[in-house]
Structure 1
Amino acid sequence: MNSVQRSVLFSAVDRYAGLVLFFVSTAVLSRLLTPSEFGVYAVVNALTAVIAAAFQEFGGANYLIQKRELSRGTIRTAFTITWGISLAIALILLVTADVVSRLFAQDSLRLGIEVSALNLLVIPVSGTLIALFRRDMQFGTLAICNFASNVAVALVSIGLAVLNFSYMAPIWGGVAGSIVLAGMLLSWHRDFSVLRPSLSEYRDVIEFGLYSSGVSVINVFYNLAPQLFLAKILDLTAVGLYSRAINLTQVFDRLVTQVVNPIIMPAIVTKRAAGADLKGVYLDAVQLLSAVQWPFLTSVAIMAKPIVLIWLGGAWLEVVPLVRILCIANLALFAACLTYPVFLAVGRVRDALVSSFISLPPSLLALLSASFFGVEVVAACALLTLPFQAAVAIYYLSPHLALRPSEFGRALLKSGAVTMGTASGVAVCAVLIEAGALNFVAGLITALVVATFCWWCALTLTGHPLLGHLRHAAAGLAEMAPRLLPSRPVL
């Protein structure tokens, strides 16, 4: 098993452990908090996430990972600029919290924003150290630290919700998780000198950050804008419903994309430095991602009702049509996690910003208009905006890879066949559930088994490249397993 495969393994352990905690805590919190209370949390989270995305790219993970020669001066400068900006923004949030709460006509937002501002003082520390661990492919260490942080988030959120802290429960949970993560990373890294203030290489950090933060802010704002629009135009219940629909739709990101995301950037940059053909690397990755994402999202769309009933409870059934619409819309984003790393690898981060400025403002305008007609229309808007964004990104990326549309289309043919094969099996289970032949729990379990069987058969029949990667990874795990098990003493 090579270093990239080991990194994927540790990253998977990290993300899946976090996903289990997320499922459990969400299921419990959905029964302790109302959609309106979730709406307050979602708006506070949206506001602070957009701001955090702005300063993190000034010396954040992407900058430190892509830097070919990383000196102590570079690390210290990156941390100093990031922390300085975050401190200024935290103070601005504290001062303007009351103004923002009046803007949305929700007094409850003020306390949430003030508490969330505490996160901004901790994130630069953990962000810098995470980048250094990722650069060195130390994903095992990151897995342990992230697990401790996720446990803290879950325990504090649920505990405070039981004590009737309402929407503040998950907000305080997030702060607790950030503090635990920073503490764990510091205890593991121990070289505190990299966090010493310095501005020796500020020009390079700021030059990269201006473009990179622009890309990050506009994309994060677009993803969170529907919740802000709904809060202002409709009500917090609509925000809570849409937020939960997004969470369910993004399960694939938590299962797959967030597992490979930490590895994509350093892996592509390394391959570029070694003179690899980036077009081949990109098309291979597109094939693999689409063969997993498309069947998964299609299956979730078909089984949305039993998933919502079992996970969130009957009070959240209004989420079902939103989930189905958003799953179909997100099929267009199968290559999204590759776009920015490839732009960075070919030295065209400016093009990433230009493509975002072309595709996202019209999409935001469409979302704003849709907000006046209800939460389902906002979700349906994604059926137009997400394919448009994907098309613009691929258009700008193609010249740098000498990528022709026909090559892109051929890379997706087998994944399309795998998706249809998987969806047909899941659809049969959905029909049996609606007919009353299976209850929701048995039907969902059956659908999972059938989907896995149909997916594997489709991969085999089409000869999809993913099959070879899975077999190779399984062989690597089998080879690695004896080293992970404790040895028995010889008698």
Structure 2
Amino acid sequence: MSSVQRSFIFSAVDRYAGLVLFFFSTAVLSRLLTPGEFGIFAVVNALAAVIAAAFQEFGGANYLLQKHELSRGTIRTAFTVTCVISLVVALILLASAGVVSQIFGQESLRRGIQVSALNLLLLPVSGTLAALFRRDMQFGTLAICNLASNVTIALVSIGLALLHFSYMAPVWGGVAGSVVLMIMLLSWYRDFRVLRPSLSEYRDVLKFGLYSSGVSVINIFYNLAPQLFLAKILDFTAVGLYSRAINLTQVFDRLVTQVLNPIIMPAIVSRRAAGADLKGVYLDAVQLLSAVQWPFLTFIAIMAKPIVLIWLGGAWLEVVPLVRILCLANLALFAACLTYPIFVAVGRVRDALVSSFISLPPSLLALLGASFFGVEAVAACALLTLPFQAAVAIYYLSRHLALRPGELGRAVVTSGVATVATALGAATCAALIEAGTLNLVVGLASAFVVGPLCWWWGLMATGHPLLQHLRQAAAGLAEMAPRLLPSRSAL
């Protein structure tokens, strides 16, 4: 088994274990917190995420991953720059918490923002060490550390919610998880010398960080802007509903994209260094990703109502139309996770920033206008903005890859067949549920069987290349199993 395949398996174990904990904790917290309380947490989390993104790219994971030659001085400088910026940002966040809470007309935000600022002081250590483990393809170690962190977040959040900590329960849970992650990474890496202060290569760190941070901030702000607009223009209940809809829509990202993200950057950079044809790499990846993303999102859109009723409960039924709209809009982002790594690999991070500045500001204005018409209008706006953003990104990529529209179309046509087959199977089960022939649990369980079977038929009928990759992955798992299981002599 290749190192990339092994890394994928460990990354998948890491993300899927986290996903199981996410589903469990979300199901429990949805019954302990109201949509309004969850909305306050969502705004706190959104503000913290945007601010964290502003400094993490200055010496963060992407900088350390893209360096061809990584010296101890480079690591120390990256860590030092990140630490200094995080300390300054954390102090600014603490000082401005009161002002932010007044802007949104919700005094409860003050305490949440102040506690979230603690996370900023922990991220430089965990971010630097996690990037070093990723660079060395040590995803097994990362899986163990992340699992410990995710278990802590779930247990602390649920425990505090039961003790009536309200929206602060998941906030404190996030801080507790960050502490555990930092301790685990430190105990595993042990070479504390890389965390000594240094500014020997600060020019290179800042040069990369200016472009990379700009890309990260504008993209994360765009993703979280609807929640901030809704909080200001409507109310925190609308924020809670939209946030839950986003959570369900982004299950594909948690299942697939987040599994691939830690591997994509180092894999593409190494392929580029080896002289590989990046256009071929890109088209192959697009073909594989669309064959999974399109059927998955289509399935979620069709089965949204039974999923919401079983997972979140009847109090969250207003989420269903939002989920369906957002799933359809996100079909346009089938190649989004490849865009930034390709720009980095060809040495054109600047183009990533330029394409974001072209597509995202108009999209933000559209979202702001839609916020005055309600949460469904905000979701519907994505049907226009996401395809526009995808088109701009692909245009800029095509300039470096010599990519023609016909080549991209041919790469995804077989994925469309698999998507239609999946939709037919899911729609049949959804119709039986609505007719009362199947109850919610049996109907959803049937859909989880019928949908994948129809998807597999679609792959088989078109001879999709994904089949070969799935066979290789199965063979790799079979190869690894004897090494993971204890031998008889050890029993």
Same fold (TM over 0.5): yes
What per-residue deviation string (whole Å, max 9, x for no partner) do you get for residues 419-468 of structure 1? 00111011000000000000111100000000111111110110000001
Quote the residue 1:253 is aligned against: 253
Q: Distance in 1 between matches of 2:424 and 2:86?
A: 49
Quote the residue 1:211 is aligned against: 211
Written as runs of structure 1 = structure 2, the 5 A alignment for 1:436-447 is 436-447=436-447
What per-residue deviation string (whole Å, max 9, x for no partner) do you get for residues 100-121 of structure 1? 0000000000000000000000
What per-residue deviation string (whole Å, max 9, x for no partner) do you get for residues 59-79 of structure 1? 000000000000010000000
Calculate the aligned-residue CA RMSD, in Å: 0.8
Q: Distance in 2 between matches of 1:91 and 1:139?
A: 33
Provide the secondary structure at the position in 2 that maps to 1:117. helix
Quote the residue 2:454 is aligned against: 454
Quote the residue 1:362 is aligned against: 362
Quote the residue 2:334 is aligned against: 334
Deviation at 1:490, TM superposition (A): 9.8
Quote the residue 1:373 is aligned against: 373
* Structure 1: gaps of 5 or more residues: none
Check if 1:197 corresponds to 2:197: yes
Q: Distance in 1 between matches of 2:444 and 2:435?
A: 14
Quote the residue 2:102 is aligned against: 102
Quote the residue 1:67 is aligned against: 67
Quote the residue 1:156 is aligned against: 156
Q: Distance in 2 between matches of 1:233 and 1:149?
A: 35
Written as runs of structure 1 = structure 2, the 5 A alignment for 1:467-486 is 467-486=467-486
Quote the residue 1:228 is aligned against: 228
Q: TM-score, normalised on structure 2?
A: 0.99
Quote the residue 2:57 is aligned against: 57
What per-residue deviation string (whole Å, max 9, x for no partner) do you get for residues 125-179 of structure 1? 0000000000000000000000000000000000000000000000000000000
Q: TM-score, normalised on structure 1?
A: 0.99
Deviation at 1:475, TM superposition (A): 1.1
Written as runs of structure 1 = structure 2, the 5 A alignment for 1:124-135 is 124-135=124-135
Check if 1:30 corresponds to 2:27: no
Q: Distance in 2 between matches of 1:489 and 1:480?
A: 18
Quote the residue 2:264 is aligned against: 264
Written as runs of structure 1 = structure 2, the 5 A alignment for 1:384-403 is 384-403=384-403
Counterpart of 2:47 in structure 1: which amino acid? Answer: L
Quote the residue 1:408 is aligned against: 408
Written as runs of structure 1 = structure 2, the 5 A alignment for 1:274-293 is 274-293=274-293
Deviation at 1:480, TM superposition (A): 1.7
Quote the residue 1:302 is aligned against: 302
Counterpart of 2:13 in structure 1: which amino acid? Answer: V
Counterpart of 2:248 in structure 1: which amino acid? Answer: L
Q: Distance in 2 between matches of 1:452 and 1:234?
A: 39
What per-residue deviation string (whole Å, max 9, x for no partner) do you get for residues 263-321 of structure 1? 00000000000000000000000000000000000000000000000000000000000
Provide the secondary structure at the position in 2 that maps to 1:423. helix
Q: Distance in 2 between matches of 1:318 and 1:490?
A: 54
Aligned length: 491
Distance 1:462 1:204, change over 3 A: same
Counterpart of 1:382 in structure 2: which amino acid? Answer: A
* Structure 2: gaps of 5 or more residues: none
* Percent of aligned positions that are identical: 83
Q: Distance in 1 between matches of 2:473 and 2:34?
A: 43
Q: Distance in 1 between matches of 2:489 and 2:329?
A: 56
Q: Distance in 1 between matches of 2:276 and 2:204?
A: 26
Moved more, 474-483 or 217-226: 474-483
Q: Displaced runs of 4+ in structure 1, greater than 4 A?
A: none
Quote the residue 1:3 is aligned against: 3
Deviation at 1:489, TM superposition (A): 2.4
What per-residue deviation string (whole Å, max 9, x for no partner) do you get for residues 376-409 of structure 1? 0000000000000000000000010111100000
Deviation at 1:354, TM superposition (A): 0.2
Counterpart of 1:243 in structure 2: which amino acid? Answer: S
What per-residue deviation string (whole Å, max 9, x for no partner) do you get for residues 306-339 of structure 1? 0000000000000000000000000000100000
Counterpart of 1:319 in structure 2: which amino acid? Answer: V
Q: Distance in 2 between matches of 1:489 and 1:340?
A: 49
Q: Distance in 2 between matches of 1:458 and 1:260?
A: 23
Quote the residue 1:172 is aligned against: 172
